[in-house]
């Protein structure tokens, strides 16, 4: 039963990830932005697939060989309980794991609970042992804080609902690039963005209108700004230990330059996408900022828009 599930998840997940990865090998004859969209789409689909099927594989017990020192990226956790010495016991349902963090949220250890991929609840007893009740199979586990199994038995079907809901909801510090592995919904969202990009890259001859492209530019610029801000936050984590006479100016420089870089990067990517020329219907590309213009590659027609932006040369 156990082994069958592992094989099933490996087969389906493996097929999905191989298909997603092979989509990145696209012809070099297609336009550059389509190749970029295809490559990025394939990458996001692989990440989403690894997150979703990786969690599923862990939940059915296929990753029990992971060492105690392996920390699954938890992200947002519900039902977190605390021991008398303020250690945090974190349940992670998607991977079927329990992870222990010290009072300063440093990772201590983690292990897999045989919950068969379903929900489970935690509570800490007077003696600081961790009690686990699983949702459907009505199993009752007792673990020590280091993950040693003390007992495992079945309990009455109502036990899960009667079990106290003492846990808190907490965001466990998780690197931005690991969030897709923390929650199947995020895995799916990343995969869906990837699928959308693959679709855009595979369309033979879509030509979008100028208004639609202006909206895309705004979205990409905003996304670039957010991305730059996240990068700046990561940089600040690294420079935080420096004396504040260094860390404050460095942080400000990092924030400004990464936010600006993100804005320009987002705009650069958006401007790889061609637009239908109003004169000859072939490919036009955006340029400039005051105002934003569209220059046709074929007939040379320049279409002015009423949109202006305050960055860049002209
Ligand atoms: Zn034209």
Please, are residues 198 and 42 in contact by the beta-carbon 8 Å criterion? yes
| Distance of CA 26 from the midpoint of ligand 1 (Å) | 27
| Distance of CA 295 from the midpoint of ligand 1 (Å) | 8
Stretch among 40-44, 108-112, 233-237 having the lowest mean pLDDT: 233-237
Residue 204 — pLDDT band, cuts 50, 70, 90? low
Higher model confidence: residue 271 or residue 165?
A: 271
| Distance of CA 31 from the midpoint of ligand 1 (Å) | 17
Q: Whole-model pTM above 0.75? A: no
Is the pLDDT assigned to residue 295 strictly greater than 90?
Answer: yes
Residue 203 — pLDDT band, cuts 50, 70, 90? low
- The pLDDT value given to residue 300: 93
Share of the chain above pLDDT 90, in %: 29
| Distance of CA 190 from the midpoint of ligand 1 (Å) | 36
| Distance of CA 37 from the midpoint of ligand 1 (Å) | 24
pLDDT tens-digit readout, 95-144:
999 999 999 999 999 999 876 667 888 888 888 899 988 887 788 899 99
| Distance of CA 298 from the midpoint of ligand 1 (Å) | 5
Stretch among 51-60, 114-123, 252-261, 293-302 having the lowest mean pLDDT: 114-123
| Distance of CA 304 from the midpoint of ligand 1 (Å) | 13
Provide mean pLDDT across the span 204-210: 73
- The pLDDT value given to residue 227: 84
Average pLDDT score over the chain: 86
| Distance of CA 294 from the midpoint of ligand 1 (Å) | 10
Is the pLDDT assigned to residue 48 strictly greater than 90?
Answer: yes
Is the pLDDT assigned to residue 27 strictly greater than 70?
Answer: no
Residue 206 — pLDDT band, cuts 50, 70, 90? low
Is the pLDDT assigned to residue 276 strictly greater than 80?
Answer: yes
Residue 28 — pLDDT band, cuts 50, 70, 90? low
| Distance of CA 120 from the midpoint of ligand 1 (Å) | 62
Is the pLDDT assigned to residue 1 strictly greater than 60?
Answer: no
């Amino acid at each position: 039963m156990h082994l069958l599930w592992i094989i099933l998840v490996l087969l389906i997940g493996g097929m999905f990830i191989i298909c997603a990865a092979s989509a990145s090998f696209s012809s070099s004859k297609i336009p550059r932005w389509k190749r970029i969209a295809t490559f990025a789409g394939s990458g996001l689909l692989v990440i989403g697939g690894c997150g979703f099927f990786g969690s599923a594989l862990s939940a059915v017990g296929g990753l029990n060989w992971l060492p105690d020192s392996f920390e699954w990226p938890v992200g947002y956790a519900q039902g977190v309980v605390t021991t008398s010495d303020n250690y945090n016991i974190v349940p992670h349902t998607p991977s079927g794991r329990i992870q222990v963090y010290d009072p300063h949220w440093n990772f201590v250890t983690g292990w897999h609970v045989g919950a068969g991929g379903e929900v489970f609840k935690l509570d800490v007893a007077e003696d600081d042992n961790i009690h686990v009740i699983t949702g459907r199979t009505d199993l009752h586990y007792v673990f020590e804080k280091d993950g040693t199994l003390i007992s495992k038995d079945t309990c009455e079907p109502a036990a899960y609902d009667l079990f106290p809901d003492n846990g808190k909801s907490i965001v466990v510090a998780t690197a931005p690039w690991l969030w897709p592995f923390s929650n199947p919904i995020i895995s799916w969202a990343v995969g869906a963005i990837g699928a959308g990009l693959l679709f855009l890259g595979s369309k033979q001859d879509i030509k979008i209108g100028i208004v639609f492209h202006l909206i895309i530019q705004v979205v990409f610029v905003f996304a670039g700004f957010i991305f730059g801000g996240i990068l700046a936050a990561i940089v600040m984590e690294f420079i935080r230990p420096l004396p504040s006479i260094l860390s404050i100016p460095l942080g400000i420089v990092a924030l400004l330059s990464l936010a600006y870089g993100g804005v320009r990067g987002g705009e650069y990517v958006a401007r790889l996408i061609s637009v239908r020329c109003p004169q000859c219907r072939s490919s036009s590309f955006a340029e400039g900022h005051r105002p934003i213009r569209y220059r046709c590659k074929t007939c040379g027609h320049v279409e002015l828009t009423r949109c202006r932006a305050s960055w860049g040369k002209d």
